Structure 1
Amino acid sequence: MNSHVSVPGQTGAIIAGTPLADAVVRLENVKRHFGETPALDGVSLTVRKGEILGIIGRSGAGKSTLIRCLNGLERPESGAIFVEGRQITGLSERELQPFRRRIGMIFQHFNLLSAKTVEENVALPLKIEGRPRAERLQRARELLDLVGLSDKAGAYPSSLSGGQKQRVGIARALAARPALLLSDEATSALDPETTRSILALLKDINRKLGLTILLITHEMEVVRSIGDRVAVIDAGKIVEEGPVWSVFADPQTDITKSLLAGIRPQLPAHIADALSAEPGGEAVLGVDLAGAAAQGTLLAELPRPFRLLHGGVDHVQDQAVARLYLAVPAVPAGAVQTFIQFLEARSARVEVLGYVTGHA
């Protein structure tokens, strides 16, 4: 399978065949240290026009520094950052201002001004730009209609729910017609139902406006819901990237597998605890499948005997993605390898997790 880029210990790469003209933002070998600690350690990444790209990683992985370098609040020590084809590294604070306006930001804690109405909050970026009042208000009303809050124009943030506040934040981020919408953990403070509604809104905006969105998150479910492509960051490096369905179907690195653990089937604990590295009894196999192989008649075709221990089929980006756990007798000699070869011939990725005796 391995249809996505996996580059442990190296930088990410521009996707093969992606014209540079389609890049809204491009990072080339960007490095940023704090003391001896590398926050970004040679990051190369391209955000393509019209896509939703998720950047996912644990706390401390480098996500916040990446954001701050993108909007010019941090300066990389080396490497280059391009916004719509223009390199912004090395620009003065004054020269950076027009490029910052090309990047809209939505935040985890909304960052609304409590003393201003919803309409005034949305219009604020245009006021800072010096736009006429009539133009500001017309744009604010258009955007409040887009996010479903036309009736809240005169309300103050204190009267809004968390989801409504985030909708205002999204409208404000769109006010100056940015080329890129940067979402910094925008759903982390919301309950699951509200999170789903906000993600659906972002996807709708992406479709209606053709807006490029960069999601910074530690939640794989966020990327799974609306992402086109995902890049995994760990210790300041992009360690894995590719289409969301491909990374979910066949994660290559331990960090990606760990981040996926909450939403992919896992081997039941009582079986995992019984695993031994010594061959004998049954071999326990982890099997990853995608596409037609994940929704066909594979189980009916498998050589007997075997046991289905656990597993499931999901759909990501309209692609079937399966993770199965099978137990296969370890004798006669060669039986496990024959079973694995059968699976691999059908585009499965297979790993031997260990061995169990009895019927664990």
Structure 2
Amino acid sequence: MNKHVSWTASETETSEDVIRLTDLRRRFGETAALDGVSLSVQRGEILGIIGRSGAGKSTLIRCLNGLERPDSGKIEIDGREITGLTEASLQPLRRKIGMIFQHFNLLSAKTVEENVALPLKIEGWPKAKRLARAAELLELVGLSGKAKAYPSELSGGQKQRVGIARALAASPALLLSDEATSALDPETTRSILALLKDINSKLGLTILLITHEMEVVRNIADRVTVLDAGRIVEEGPVWQVFSRPQTETTKSLLSGIRPQLPLNIAERLSPSGEGDAIVAIDIAGLAAAGPFLRSLSAAFPNDSRLVHGGVDHIREQPVGRFFVAVSAASVSNLVSFAERLGAQVEVLGHVADHA
């Protein structure tokens, strides 16, 4: 079982929580879908929740919108505890929660503006007022010219924009996104993420993203929570978790978007001390902003060489991941030197000939 890893309290504590979960538990037979989940989401924050299939993401979001009742624990939405509420008492609260879905869930027999205005019709708004609100939201999501169109006439990205507008109709305090970009192509995904970020910025809207797509979290979220078998195993600012994942679950989930040791070298790695050592170096934040590689090369001019890697930026923070080959005689000194510069270092093994 992975130990729950969290980054420093100064960077993760919140001053005003829209969501607060305390020791949430939900079982289905012998399976613990949620096994003691505690987390909070600050007003105006974008939190990404990632995990493999079966990690508990869907159960978590169903508990948040009241479709699933936890076995124990506490759920507070915008300061109100909801776990003991009746179905009738939940209805007003659900109006504070907007939902966007993977498959859009639009009504095919209604026009775009009618789909957007539907939550307001249910609330009893007069027709003129709800259509005016729909027009305002369609302009916000870039679909002013599609008010009279039907869902069948729209692209996937346009359908999701309608879904977002509908979710915002009742001015929610919280937007829940359940794999909202999974059915979209990469270009459309980027445009939808840019829209969500814009809405977050303009409206100060709190967004919780449930996803298995690491790029989604990387591009838009402020913080990330990693679920595994119903438990939180790691959480913190996105740039920190992505640059220095601490658990095997997180490392596996991020393997597709973090630099990896080239296969032709990885296949020749040996645990023995023969040949050059291959060292993985992760460095982020202020340490990565400095001349790290230059300092390393100057300290070990004849004993080290860069095999693979580079510096990226996540949430405006520099993040570096490098694979360095170094002579067996110098590996201990290089590891100590890199750690003094603020890096996290792992000796992966040795290669008998040049990498």
Give the TM-score, by structure 2 length. Answer: 0.96
Give the aligned residue type for 2:324.
Answer: L
Aligned to 1:309: 307
2:132 to 133, 138, 143: 138
Q: How many residues align?
A: 351
Measure how far apart 1:355 and its partner are.
1.1
Which of 229, 232, 236 aligns to 1:238? It is: 232
Distance 1:312 1:14 in 2: 26
Alignment match, 2:162? 168
Shift of 1:98: 1.1
Query: Which amino acid in the other structure matches residue 338 of structure 2?
Result: L
Question: 1:248 Cα shift?
Answer: 1.2
Cα shift at 1:16: 5.2
Deviations 1:236-275 (A, max 9, x none): 1111111111111111111111111111110001111111
Deviations 1:127-182 (A, max 9, x none): 11111111111110000000010110000000000000000000000000000000
Q: Which residue number in structure 1 is paired with residue 320 of structure 2?
A: 322
> Does structure 1 conserve the Cα–Cα contact (< 8 Å) formed by 2:157 and 2:188?
yes
Q: Is the aligned partner of 1:293 residue 2:293?
A: no
Q: Which runs of 5+ in 2 are unaligned?
A: none
CA contact (8 A) 2:310 2:321 kept: yes
Equivalences for 1:29-40 in 2 at 5 Å? 29-40=23-34
- Distance change >3 Å, CA 30–CA 345, structure 1 → 2: same
Q: What's 1:41 paired with?
A: 35
CA contact (8 A) 2:6 2:236 kept: no
> How far 1:308 sits from its partner (Å)?
0.8
CA contact (8 A) 2:76 2:82 kept: yes
Match of 2:339 in 1: 344
- Contact 2:5–2:246 under 8 Å retained in 1: no
1:96-135 counterparts in 2 under 5 A?
A: 96-135=90-129
Q: 1:279 aligns with which of 273, 282, 293?
A: 273
Is residue 53–residue 214 contact of structure 1 (8 Å, CA) maintained in 2?
yes
CA offset at residue 58 of structure 1?
1.0
Q: In structure 2, do the counterparts of structure 1 residues 19 and 337 end up closer, same or farther at CA, with 3 Å as the change threshold?
A: closer
Write out aligned runs for 1:57-68 (5 A): 57-68=51-62
Runs of 5+ in structure 1 lacking a partner?
A: 1-6
Q: Secondary structure at the match of 2:142?
A: coil
How far apart, in 2, do the equivalents of 1:11 and 1:19 lie? 15
**What residue identity is the alignment partner of 1:94?**
A
Residue of structure 1 in register with 2:177 after alignment? 183
Give the Cα–Cα distance (whole angstroms) in 2 for the partners of residues 19 and 139 of structure 1. Answer: 35
Rate the CA distance shift 1:348–1:16 in 2: closer, same or farther, 3 A.
closer
For residue 205 of structure 1, the aligned residue among 184, 199, 205 is: 199
TM-score normalized by the length of structure 1: 0.94
Identity %: 69
- Indicate how the Cα distance of structure 1 residues 15 and 30 shifts in structure 2: closer, same or farther if over 3 A, else same: farther
* Secondary structure of the structure 2 residue equivalent to 1:274: coil
Counterpart residue identity of residue 315, structure 1: H
